[in-house]
Structure 1
Amino acid sequence: MEWMTAENVIAVGTALVGVLVTLAVVWIDRFSPQRKRLGFRVQLNTPLHREENQDSEVMTVREGQVVGMAPPANGSTLVLLRIENDRELDIGSEDYGASTDPHGLKITFGTRTVQGVVATVPAGWVSIRDDLERDPKLGRHESAVLVPKVALERGQYFKLLVQLSGGIADRDVKIGGSLQGGSIRRNRSTTPDEKPARFSPTARTVTVVLTACVVALAAVIVRDQDPPPIGCARGSLTVTGSTAFAPALRGAAKQYEEDCEGSTVTVDVHGSTAGIRELAEAGAKAGAKAGANGAKGAPAVIALSDGHKPGGFPELRENMVAVSLFTLVLHDGIPVDDLTLDQVRRIYRGEITNWKQIVPSVDQPVLLVSRDANSGTRQVFQRRVLGRNEPANSSQDCLTLDDPTSKVIRCELDSTEQVLTTVAKLPGAVGYSELRATDGRTGLHRVAVDGRRPVVEELGGSGYPYREIEYAYTWGLPPADSLTSSFLTYLRSGRGQDVISAHGHLPCATPKGLPVCGKG
């Protein structure tokens, strides 16, 4: 049926909940047999300490007369209880349950002996005082206080000040008895002077539920009337390419989906070069399909690359997004946190094969832990730091030399996570990674190059070499109303910039990023 939209279902359901709750509360309030309730609460629980050579007594005033309690001994405790009618109906003496004990309530205090008890009644409530003084009177027996069957009108209460032989926890204070047509319960502890609530629990419950229903209905109405945010687009998009930039891409995709209803942005990265090839293949397929239908087609794919794309893909359109920082990482067993650029190049040329050539006291072979050929992180390292390609792969386990003609042990791994885990595990290992991926890692540390460290705030001034621009590539110029165009704009401005900055990158389209990205 046409009316069964999500908004209408929510609206009808919310209204129904409001009506049912109101009816339920009225029924409980007017027709439920559990309408009377006697409450009690612990308002004071404090130890007493009697000074030596003093004969002072603990006293209270009732109706103008001073009533004494036993002199306090060290270790005694005073407990103040409030007994109250906290519902709408009066409680009569006949409402207390039938019992062979003439008293209405029995309050116990665990194993503590009751040394004394006095009652206080607000002025004007004479009937309560009379009930407490009428046989059987308020009394005590060992660890219990015996309370008469006191009639309490709505909102009335009285207090009991009890002196115990030792300390007691509030939870160990128990009340025994029954109330016909009602219940006896412990209430929240309050200060002695706290005023009764302005509204009854029933009124508060109905008010809260109806307010929530009104807010929910208003939200449905507002949601139905509000237009989608400017610049948003619906549909599905795949973002691929750089693994180094993947955390920022996932954060931006999640934020975009929250800001733009009806959009799905999937981040599926396998490396910069692999992403470029995936985009090119998707573009070729989309172009062939569109050509058969007599229309121009473009895939909903964006590929992120650490640096410029490889040659041979003329259809791809380039957009600068941000500057990423990378770092060399070294096993913690090697006490080196700064290498010269010349030392790094000699290590990767196989001229330095043991760390003792740099630190004489450390006799440990150099192990090169690298990324595979699809990795943009590796390509940036070769382009920006080494100025040449890395040596050939010579080990499968990153520890054993499989090629006897190789000067150095070098292995290739599929992801940054594998590189960092391996470097932290193998003594003498050195590798590289996107900067933020090393945060919180144990077993390895970052290495400066020529005394310069990877710091976003210093980009453009420090001359740190291991950095690169992140480029976003699309198949030609995407349509202005497409999700591809919308998400690309989102990455380069507004909230997308905030997400990228939060992940440790410098957005290009900012006053600080423009000159850095302009230098390439």
Structure 2
Amino acid sequence: MEWLSAENVIAVATASIGIAASVAMVWYERHIPRRKRIGYRVQMDNPIGDDVQSGRPNVRLGSFDAPNMANGTLVLLRIENDGSESIGLDDYTSRELNGLTVEFTDRTIHGVSVTQPQGTDHLMSHFTPHSGFGYDDDGNKLRLPRVPLNRGEYFKLLVLLSGGDVGRDIKLVGGIRDGVVRPNRGALPDDKPPLFSRAARVITIVLTASVLTLATIIIARDDNPPPLGCEKGELTVTGSTAFAPVVRDLAKEYEKDCEGSDIVVDARGSTAGVGELADLKGGSAKSRASMIAFSDGRSTRADAALEAESIALSVFTLVANGGLNLPEGLTLTQVRRLYSGEIGHWDELDPSLPHRRVVLVSRDADSGTRQVFQDRVLDGRWEGVPSTSLDCDLAVDRSAPVRCELNSTEDVLKKVALIPGAIGFSELNQANGEKGVKLVPLNGDIADVDAIENDGNPYPYRGVEYAYTYGAPPAGSLAGSFLDYIRNNGQNVIRSHGHVPCSTEAGGQLCRDDD
């Protein structure tokens, strides 16, 4: 029988091994911590004696000369990155300035010394009161700063305590994004944990052997169909400059998975992109099927021939020049006063602000980011201040405030960073990576994708990102295949850029609510 051929038997056997290895991997993932991990262990918990030595402390808080202490103890605690990834400052999830907190049950802290191994001199620069490091008088909680730890790096804390016996519970409290904080046991104090356990190495070898065997069968058969759903050809993606970084990464992933496809991203602004698509009305069916236009929010240029599909919920933010101090942000009423032209200098809005010209760095009429800003922040009103300068040059027009219109989100961020007193708006993820600008809270809420998706945060400046096509994409078209790819394979890329995919259950509800 044909199905009993040597190739099929080998393929079935290899697949069975792969399934067994996958089951083993599921078990492994349920019992082995995630890749980012901070471990801690108590290396010493002793009553104070005459022979106790603390070594050479690098950083020291409090006094280690406290005579007549009741139940005095010394604890040596080791904090280590024993995961497989480095931990950065932003990986700590604490809402406080400090990253982690050590709690000593029923004991009071009198002093702490921090030591580090050779070769990690950079760690000590983080142990300052300005970084949250310290403890309260008569307190039992030691606040640790957000210390970046490369794989295998660690530091030690020598803590002087009173008021409790040795062996009382000691906990390290805090969280790591995509990781865990947990106690370590069963290893020598200075041992480095292995990158992979024995079980993980065995599973990796089995899976690798399975994949290589199947690959050999496929190559031997000389049968190389493209992945399911791939299409060849050329596609132009235009529209939103705010969403363009996401589309570029999605296009690269698709081209890598689907040979023979060529996707060009030519972002010109949401309105301009949708208008360009609509202008293909007199063109051929092939030309109409070879373009997708992305728009921040529903486009005013779309007509009945265009179809819109919600792709992601985008979060935007007001941005101010780094020298403008707005710690509490602005209310929607204050923003509307600024953009109506009522306020010419910042101290007219708040006497505590400097007497500095208000500079409104805006986008041109083709911008979907500007359209969402007008709809969601300005309550549907157009910006009342006319454009007074091509590049917000204060010397060109002496009227107040000054307003200019730029062609892209990148241009807005650079201009706001350059001009004192400037304020503008941007897609959140692009603003987060820009030097010289500050995010401005609205009605007391800072732009936060996680809070919007998971906590129902009412932050107002957000909108749905739409993909427009000229009618429904024809079967077998690159446009239709690319949109299918975004729905089914693009969630991680969309999330990596700070957007919420509409194809998820929670994201779908948010996209419907904001439609």
TM-score normalised by L of structure 1: 0.54
**Counterpart of 2:441 in 1: which secondary structure?**
strand
| CA deviation profile, 1:379-432 (whole Å, cap 9, x unmatched) | 11111101211121012331337567x652101111111111111111000011
Cα separation, partners in 2 of 1:420 and 1:298, compared to 1, 3 Å: closer
Does the CA contact (< 8 Å) of 1:235 and 1:262 recur in 2? yes
Equivalenced residue count is 298
After TM superposition, list the pairs within 5 Å mapping 1:301-380 onto structure 2: 301-311=291-301, 313-337=303-327, 338-357=329-348, 358-380=350-372
1:314-359 Cα offsets, whole Å, 9 max, x none, are 1101111000011100011111031111111101111222111224
Question: Structure 1 residue 311: deviation in Å?
Answer: 4.9
Once residues 471 and 364 of structure 1 are traced to their aligned partners in structure 2, the CA distance between those partners, rounded to angstroms, is 38
Residue in 1 aligned with 2:426?
Answer: 433
Corresponding residue for residue 299 of structure 1: 289
Does the 8 A contact of 1:282 with 1:299 survive in 2?
Answer: no
Report matched runs for 1:263-274 at 5 Å.
263-274=261-272
Residue pair 1:394, 1:401 contacting (<8 A) in 2 also: no
DSSP-derived class of the 1:339 partner: coil
Q: Is the 8 A contact 2:275 2:301 kept in 1?
A: no
Q: In the alignment, is the contact (CA less than 8 A) between 1:272 and 1:306 conserved in 2? A: yes
The residue aligned with 1:466 is 461
Match among 470, 475, 482 for residue 477 of structure 2: 482
Q: Does 1:255 align with 2:246?
A: no
Going from structure 1 to structure 2, the CA distance change for 1:397 and 1:235 (only over 3 Å counts) comes to closer
CA distance in 2, matches of 1:342, 1:223: 69
SS at match of 2:447: coil
2:450 paired residue among 453, 457, 469: 457
Q: CA deviation at 1:512?
A: 1.1
Percent of aligned pairs with the same residue? 49
Match of 1:422 in 2: 415
Q: CA deviation at 1:223?
A: 8.4
Equivalence for 1:229: 227
- Please identify the structure whose Cα radius of gyration is greater: 1
Distance of 1:276 and 1:396 partners within structure 2: 25
CA distance in 2, matches of 1:377, 1:468: 9
Match for 2:510 among 489, 505, 516? Answer: 516
Aligned pair in 2 of structure 1 residues 269, 484: CA closer, same or farther (>3 Å)? same
Distance in 1 between residues matched to 2:255 and 2:217, nearest whole Å? 20
2:497 is equivalent to residue 498 of structure 1: no
Which of 383, 402, 405 aligns to 2:375? It is: 383
The amino acid that maps onto 1:457 is D
Distance 1:516 1:218, change over 3 A: same
Shift of 1:269: 0.7
Contact persistence 1:236–1:483 (CA under 8 A): yes
In structure 2, C-alpha distance between the alignment counterparts of 1:409 and 1:379, rounded to whole Å: 20
Equivalent residue of 2:222, what SS? helix
Alpha-carbon distance change, 412 to 222 in structure 1, aligned in 2, over 3 angstroms: farther
Structure-1 residue corresponding to 2:48: none
| Letter of the 1:336 counterpart | L
One-letter amino acid of the counterpart of residue 346, structure 1: R
2:240: which partner in 1? 242
CA distance in 1, matches of 2:364, 2:509: 31
Match of 2:393 among 399, 403, 409: 399
Q: Where do residues 29-48 of structure 1 align in structure 2 (5 Å cutoff)?
A: none
Measure how far apart 1:363 and its partner are.
1.7
- C-alpha contact 2:311 2:502 (8 A) present in aligned 1: yes
Q: What SS class does the counterpart of residue 386 from structure 1 fall into?
A: coil
The 3-state SS of whatever aligns with 1:454 is: coil
**Which sections of structure 2, spanning at least 5 residues, go unmatched?**
1-211
Q: Name the aligned partner's letter for residue 514 of structure 1.
A: G
Q: Which secondary structure does the structure 2 equivalent of 1:484 belong to?
A: helix
- C-alpha contact (below 8 Å) 1:332/1:445 kept by paired residues: yes
Shift of the 268–222 alpha-carbon distance from structure 1 to 2, 3 Å rule, reads farther
1:246 CA drift (Å): 0.4
Residues 117-136 of structure 1: per-residue CA shift (max 9 Å, x gap): xxxxxxxxxxxxxxxxxxxx
Change (3 A) 1:230 1:398: same
- Once the two structures are superposed, the pairs formed by residues 153-164 of structure 1 within 5 Å of their partners are none
| Alignment-mate amino acid for residue 373 of structure 2 | F
Could you tell me how far apart the structure 1 residues matched to 2:262 and 2:503 are? 25
Q: Secondary structure at the match of 1:236?
A: strand
Deviations 1:100-145 (A, max 9, x none): xxxxxxxxxxxxxxxxxxxxxxxxxxxxxxxxxxxxxxxxxxxxxx
Corresponding residue number in structure 2 for 1:445 = 438
SS at match of 1:318: strand
- Aligned partner letter, 1:408: P
In the superposition, the TM-score normalised over structure 2's length comes to 0.55
Q: Distance in 2 between matches of 1:311 and 1:246?
A: 19
Any runs of at least 4 consecutive aligned residues in structure 1 with deviations exceeding 3 A, and if so which?
Answer: 217-220, 401-404
Assess if the C-alpha contact under 8 Å between 1:236 and 1:265 holds in 2.
yes
**Residues 235 and 432 from structure 1, CA distance in 2 versus in 1: closer, same or farther, beyond 3 angstroms?**
same
Q: Distance in 2 between matches of 1:419 and 1:266?
A: 24
Shift of residue 377, structure 1, vs aligned partner: 0.9
> Which residues of structure 1 form unaligned runs of 5+?
1-213, 291-296
Matches within 5 A, 1:167-182: none
Query: What value does the CA root-mean-square deviation take over the aligned residues?
Result: 2.4
Distance in 1 (alpha carbons) for counterparts of 2:490 and 2:390: 40
Supply the distance in 2 between the matched residues of 1:222 and 1:352 (Cα, whole angstroms): 74
The residue type paired with residue 334 of structure 1 is L
- How has the CA–CA distance of structure 1 residues 311 and 415 changed in structure 2, closer, same or farther, with 3 Å as cutoff? closer
Q: 1:223 & 1:506 partners in 2: Cα distance?
A: 42
Offset, 1:469: 0.2
Q: Hey, what's the Cα distance between the residues in 2 that align with 1:276 and 1:304? A: 7
Aligned to 2:5: none
Distance in structure 1 (CA, Å) of the matches to 2:491 and 2:394? 44
CA distance in 2 between counterparts of 1:269 and 1:284 reads: 23
